[in-house]
A and B are shown apart, each in its own frame.
Chain A
């Protein structure tokens, strides 16, 4: 009866991370045999009160996916932090902010306007918006408040380990579970994935020229992509040079460039800046005008280079000289 207790939770995420756990397939039976899952809202019927009833530190480990962008998510992860001995930031959103983190390019007001006023599926002239508090005859009701700025998990609570990826590759999840169950964990703060760049083990590595010189950046849906040649050499924005290895490169095997979901290796602090550096320096021109023309092919630098890591970057969010305040 003394199996270690494990919890899973999701915050601002798409559900893909939950899917990745299920993708362990038969492997999940070994997990269930070795641990008691006591909290997993997406799959099992446990409530917040069940977590509150646990003794502090009773969970051996809690896997939390998703970015943090609402008061409710903040409360839940603070609660789980108290109850868990170890917290693992699971997936790009929890580690670096992920796709929801791109909301930091905008303001809360603009996000709300888009969702409740301008989206094509909203009736024109809609004035209904969520309000955090309302009093009805039955009592006071409360809704979570959406924050101005999306945060990574470790900007809200202390995090012990990180499992990168969108979603984390099954092999890395399996290795992490084995390490946890055997008690053989690396130092706190480690990203549980290889610490080398994706290019190192790329099948197309032999075709990468010594000096990349891109004359035109191309977009994959507008290009006939050679299935053998280095994608960067073909002018596709492949972020393999700056992205952590460990995914088995499914995108590249499917003839699509790496978008960088496993994030940076440990000696890079700001993924987007490093990615920009690597890609911009391949522009094959020495004349300023020509450089500008080639680099204009990179349509959306922030969305391309900070696709999974805007809240974790140095700049953190769009500069708002008049509107300050994190939460």
Chain B
């Protein structure tokens, strides 16, 4: 994989990557121990299952400065918790449609099944996504009105479990 292309304005995409503990995170670990190089633009957050991924996390990432969000889970049929990745996929399908209604390019949110042995897929997907986001440019959401972050009677930060 070639180096991700540089642009003159030196925009570096910020990608938040949610990887499931059992497959994709292990694959990223494998990519590391195998000394594979890939774009340093993804900040990896380990979750126990892609099914744990509340869509609020994705929107919160975009709100807080991410230009893209990558979700990695086990291949269909391989979920450590049987069905978590199917739930992730159902939410992802509807969320992508909803993001389109918000005018946000669908390539900014990507779901990939990456098994524990697929270190090179982690490398490829992160490189590809970094290139894609670099081409799309930064996601510059209009800043929230000052009070909004803690408002609406919702004083507690996001910690609601998946329904």
Chain A interface residues toward B at CB < 8 A: 89, 95-96, 105, 149, 151-152, 154-159, 161-162, 164, 189-191, 241-242, 263-270, 272-274, 276-281, 283, 286, 288, 291-292, 295, 298, 300-302, 305, 309, 312-321, 324-326
Contacts and interface: CB of A to CB of B under 8 A. Distances in A.
B91 A277 contact: yes
A316 B104 contact: no
Given A277-B54, A286-B76, A291 B90 contact: yes
Given A286-B86, A315-B63, A273 B56 contact: yes
Given A273-B95, A300-B101, A319-B141, 7 more contacts: A191-B153, A276-B98, A286-B83, A305-B98, A309-B152, A321-B103, A326-B142
Contact of A316 (B55, B142, B146, B162): B142
Interface string B142-163: 1111111001111111111011
Given A154-B152, A286-B86, A298-B94, A269 B157 contact: yes
The 9 closest A-B pairs by CB, nearest first: A155-B145, A278-B163, A191-B153, A154-B151, A319-B103, A314-B59, A301-B98, A162-B153, A273-B55
A129 to B, nearest CB: 24
Max chain A C-beta neighbours (<10 A), residue from B87, B95, B154, B162: B154
Contacts of B102: 105, 302, 315, 318-319
Given A269-B56, A321-B140, A274 B151 contact: no
A204 to B, nearest CB: 18
B45 interface: no
Interface string B50-94: 000011101110110000000000001000000100110111011
B93 A295 contact: yes
B60 A314 contact: yes
A269 B154 contact: yes
B56 A270 contact: yes
Nearest to A298: B94
Contacts of A276: 55, 91, 94-95, 98
B104 A156 contact: no
B97 interface: yes
Contact of B147 (A154, A269, A274, A291): A154
A288 B89 contact: yes
Contacts, number: 162
Contacts of A305: 98
8 contacts: A89-B153, A155-B148, A157-B147, A268-B154, A268-B160, A277-B55, A279-B94, A319-B102
A267 B56 CA distance: 12
Contacts of A280: 90-91, 93-95
Interface of B: 54-56, 58-60, 62-63, 76, 83, 86-87, 89-91, 93-95, 97-98, 101-104, 139-148, 151-160, 162-163
Contacts of B155: 189, 266
Contacts of A151: 145
Nearest to B92: A280
A266 B94 contact: no
A296 B144 CA distance: 31
A315 B152 contact: no
B163 A266 contact: no
A269 B60 contact: yes
A316 B129 CA distance: 25
B104 A319 contact: yes
Contact of B60 (A155, A157, A270, A288): A270
B160 A292 contact: no
A260 to B, nearest CB: 13
Contacts of A264: 154
Contacts of B89: 288, 291
A283 B90 CA distance: 7
Given A151-B145, A277-B54, A302-B101, A315 B154 contact: no
Contact of A320 (B91, B142, B147): B142
Given A95-B153, A154-B152, A295-B94, A301 B142 contact: no
B150 to A, nearest CB: 8
A293 to B, nearest CB: 10
